[in-house]
Amino acid sequence: MRSPQLVPAAGLPARVTIYEVGPRDGLQNEATTVPAEVKVEFITRLLAAGLPVVEATSFVHPAWVPQLADAAEVMTALGDAGRDLPVLVPNERGLDRALELGLRHVAIFGSATETFAQRNLNRSLDEQFAMFEPVVARARAAGLDVRAYVSMCFGDPWEGDVPIGQVVDAGKRLFDLGATQLSLGDTIGVGTAGHVTALLDAFNAAGLPDDVLAMHFHDTYGQALVNTHAALLHGVTTFDASAGGLGGCPYAESATGNLATEDLVWMLDGLGIETGVSLPRLVETSTWMARHLGRPAPSRVVAALE
Ligand code: HMG
Ligand code: MG
């Protein structure tokens, strides 16, 4: 399989952690139910392709995200292999479900805007912190690792532009609940490179250095990869991506797929930045998944290589 010519560039990190969200963000918006055993195989194949972190599913209300209603079945089938994979939990009920299965990594997901907090969590912007506070406290007390997401960092479909200060306030509040990492979500994929740099500068100024930050780009406007490059240059070393470029949030109007993991790996391989991921095995996995979903993977790199 073709690979990019290796030509390193100055000023970039030697190693990047890819946080794979395909089984969760990638599948949550799929209209046709994907059988639990296919999800389990998808996760197993992604791990075998060398992805160091695979977010497996969500312990949200099953009626809110029917595609992931089989979260317990999937995690049970994974057994020990799933114990360290992160899962989304919005509230204490979600945490209880994850704890019952012995899981060790959870992620809370807040909003930088009022409208998305209401639509995605059925809570006001302020109420979301009250919902997450006991989740993080109890998870940390039980020795779990907690990631926090903040959504609508670069724009909101209902509110339009979102001031950087508002994003930093919400993100810092979520992180300060006791998270170890904050993932900055461009939920609807509208951000541009200068905006990325300015947002990261503002988080650094608020006391959150690049090494506790991750970037979560959706590729709606084709900006995900250039935005990734801007964040790499800034010093961020954790990037969320979805195999094949699947994805989108059912409660965020106009959201399309995440940055495709293959597109990210192609760029990082060309730059000589280590990820531990095998591009051929990943492409094979996304092609296999695309057959199950009945349409080609959105990723440009998958289309070029399959
Ligand atoms: P609510 O209706 O306000 O819930 O929903 P509630 O607290 O009023 O509880 C109502 C009933 O639901 C109760 O049952 C609860 O037990 C039950 P009853 O007592 O009436 O019989 N319940 C649950 N059952 C199972 N699991 C649970 C759970 N919670 C309550 N966890 C809630 C509030 C947060 C639950 C709901 O709004 C929800 O599930 N939202 C999730 C939406 C979602 O998953 N969105 C996609 C993920 S976010 C995303 O994709 C963005 C991201 O990728 C980053 C980016 O791109 O920016 C992360
Ligand atoms: Mg997302």
Q: What would the pLDDT profile of 152-201 be if each residue is shown by its tens digit?
A: 999 999 999 999 999 999 999 999 999 999 999 999 999 999 999 999 99
Tell me if 176 is assigned to some domain.
yes
Quick check: 249 pLDDT over 90? no
Its pTM stands at 0.98
- pLDDT digit string (tens) for 79-131? 999 999 999 999 999 999 999 999 999 999 999 999 999 999 999 999 999 99
How many angstroms separate the alpha carbon of residue 290 from the centre of ligand 1?
28
Tell me if 270 is assigned to some domain.
yes
Tell me if 217 is assigned to some domain.
yes
Q: For residue 149, count other CB atoms closer than 10 A to its CB.
A: 25
Tell me if 297 is assigned to some domain.
yes
Nearest CA to ligand 1 atom 53: 25
**Ligand 1 atom nearest to CA at 186:** 57
CB 294 within 8 A of CB 18: no
Give the residues surrounding ligand 1 with Cβ less than 6 Å away. 25, 28, 58-61, 64-65, 90-91, 93-94, 97, 109, 120-122, 149, 151, 185, 187, 216, 218, 249, 251
- pLDDT digit string (tens) for 144-164? 999 999 999 999 999 999 999
Nearest CA to ligand 1 atom 19: 93
Q: What is the mean pLDDT of the chain?
A: 97
Quick check: 250 pLDDT over 80? no
Q: What backbone torsions phi and psi does residue 146 show, to the nearest 5 degrees?
A: -125, 125
How many angstroms separate the alpha carbon of residue 209 from the centre of ligand 2?
22
Distance (Å, whole) CA 6 – CA 294: 34
**Ligand 1 atom nearest to CA at 255:** 56
Secondary structure letter of residue 211 according to DSSP: G
List the domain range (segments joined by +) for residue 54: 17-305
Tell me if 6 is assigned to some domain.
no
Tell me if 22 is assigned to some domain.
yes
Tell me if 1 is assigned to some domain.
no
Q: Which of 36, 152, 249, 252 is catalytic?
A: 249
Distance (Å, whole) CA 128 – CA 149: 12
How many angstroms separate the alpha carbon of residue 218 from the centre of ligand 2?
7
Tokens of 286: 């996304």
Active site residue 153: no
How many angstroms separate the alpha carbon of residue 297 from the centre of ligand 1?
28
pLDDT of residue 253: 74
**Taking the mean position of all CA atoms in its chain, how far away is CA 17?**
12
pLDDT of residue 182: 99
Tokens of 294: 């009945």
- pLDDT digit string (tens) for 222-241? 999 999 999 999 999 999 99
Quick check: 202 pLDDT over 90? yes
Q: What backbone torsions phi and psi does residue 252 show, to the nearest 5 degrees?
A: -115, 100
- CATH number (domain holding residue 171): 3.20.20.70
Classify residue 86 by burial, with Cβ atoms within 10 Å: 0-12, 13-18, 19+. Answer: buried
Quick check: 248 pLDDT over 90? no
pLDDT interval class at 18 (50, 70, 90)? very high
Task: Tell how many helices (H) and how many strands (E) occur in the chain.
Answer: 11, 9
What is the count of structural domains for the chain?
1
Tell me if 12 is assigned to some domain.
no
Quick check: 255 pLDDT over 80? no
